[in-house]
């Protein structure tokens, strides 16, 4: 479970040093405005880990999409040699 501290928004201006210390001791600080959660502050190391996680998740999702396309029998596949031959024909006929 993550450790959190809840602080009012005015503390960002009036007590930032305390919030900075709190981030060193807690995983994140929840900022409230009139008692309602408005923002979350996390320390930079946790932010970097989260960003790396999102990047890996994005790559995983794209690989899953690719697997679906590869396994689709309706997808037309071309080998590199055939593509270059077709391209050469287009160049010769001036259709490019």
- Per-residue pLDDT at 86: 82
Query: Are both 58 and 33 inside the same structural domain?
Result: no
Report the predicted TM-score, pTM, of the whole model to 2 decimal places. Answer: 0.58
* Among candidate residues 42, 34, 41, 40, the one with its CA nearest the CA of residue 8: 34
Match 């923002």 to its residue by tokens.
39
Range of the domain at 10: 4-42
Cβ–Cβ < 8 Å for 9, 31: yes
Query: Are both 55 and 75 inside the same structural domain?
Result: yes
- Per-residue pLDDT at 15: 92
Residue scoring higher pLDDT (49 or 95) = 49
In total, the chain counts a number of residues equal to 96
Query: Are both 53 and 78 inside the same structural domain?
Result: yes
Query: Are both 9 and 31 inside the same structural domain?
Result: yes
Match 């900022």 to its residue by tokens.
31
Work out whether strand 28-33 and strand 4-8 pair parallel, antiparallel, or are unpaired.
Answer: parallel
CATH number for the domain that contains residue 21: 3.40.1620.10
Count of the separate structural domains present in the chain: 2
């Amino acid at each position: 479970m993550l450790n959190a501290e809840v602080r009012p928004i005015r503390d960002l201006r009036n007590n930032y040093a305390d919030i900075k210390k709190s981030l060193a001791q807690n995983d994140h600080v929840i900022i409230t405005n009139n008692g309602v959660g408005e923002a979350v502050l996390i320390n930079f190391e946790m932010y970097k880990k989260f960003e790396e996680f999102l990047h890996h998740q994005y790559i995983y999702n794209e690989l899953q999409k690719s697997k679906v396309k590869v396994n689709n029998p309706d997808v037309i596949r071309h080998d590199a040699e055939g593509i270059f031959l077709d391209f050469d024909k287009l160049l010769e006929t001036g259709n490019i």
